[in-house]
Amino acid sequence: MIELEAAGVGVEVAGPDGLLSTRTLLEPLTCTITERRVAVVGANGSGKSTLARMVNGLRRATTGRVRTCGLDVATHGAAVRARVGFVFTDPDAQLVMPTAIEDVALSLRRTVKDAAEREARATAALARIGLAEHARTPVHALSGGQKQLLALAGVLACEPLVLVCDEPTTLLDLHWRRVVLDLLDTVDAQVVHVTHDLEAAGRADRVLVIDAGRLVFDGDPTQAVARYRDLMAAR
Amino acid sequence: MRPWTDPVGLYRPGTSLVHRSPVWLRFGMLTALGVALVVLRGPWTSLAVLAGTVVLAAVARLPLRPTLRGLAPVALTAVLAGAYQAWARGWPLGVEVAADLMALVLAATVVTATTPTDVLLDLLARAVRPLRHVGLDPETFALAVALMLRAIPALGEMFTQVGDAARARGLERSARALLVPFAVRTVGRARLTGEALAARGIGD
d(CA A176, CA A182): 10
Contact criterion met (CB below 8 Å) for B171 and B165: no
d(CA A231, CA A215): 12
Pairing relationship of beta strands A84-87 and A162-166 according to DSSP bridges = parallel
Residue in B6, B147, B204 closest to A81 by CB: B204
Residue B58 or B190, more confident:
B58
Q: What number is the ipTM of this complex?
A: 0.72
CA distance A214 to chain B (A): 24
Q: Is A92 helix (H, G, I), strand (E, B) or coil?
A: helix
> Buried (b) or exposed (e) across A84-104, using 16+ Cβ within 10 A?
bbbbbbbbbbbbbbbbbbbbb
Confidence at residue B4, expressed as pLDDT on a 0 to 100 scale: 44
Domain total for chain A? 1
Q: Which residues of B touch A58 (CB under 8 A)?
A: 195, 198-199
Q: Which residues of A touch B146 (CB under 8 A)?
A: 96-98, 106
Give the structural domain span for A21.
Answer: 2-233
Contact criterion met (CB below 8 Å) for A216 and A209: yes
Q: How many CB atoms lie within 10 A of CB A202?
A: 13
Q: Which residues of B touch A109 (CB under 8 A)?
A: 118, 121, 139, 202
Q: A-B interface: how many C-beta pairs under 8 angstroms?
A: 97
Each domain of chain B, given as residue ranges in start order, spans 1-115, 117-204
Confidence at residue A68, expressed as pLDDT on a 0 to 100 scale: 93
Contact criterion met (CB below 8 Å) for A225 and A201: yes
Confidence at residue B47, expressed as pLDDT on a 0 to 100 scale: 94
CATH number of A98's domain: 3.40.50.300
Residue in B6, B118, B199 closest to A138 by CB: B6
User: Over the stretch A207-228, which tens digit does the pLDDT of each residue have?
Assistant: 999 999 999 999 999 999 999 9
- How confident is the model over A145-150, as a mean pLDDT? 92
Where is A66: in which H helix or E strand? Answer: strand A63-68
With left for phi above 0 and alpha for psi between -120 and 50, is residue B9 left, alpha or beta?
left
d(CA B171, CA B168): 8
CA-based Rg of chain B, rounded to a whole angstrom? 20
Q: How long a stretch of residues is chain A?
A: 235
Does the pTM exceed 0.80?
no
Q: pLDDT at residue B1 above 80?
A: no
Q: pLDDT at residue B110 above 60?
A: yes
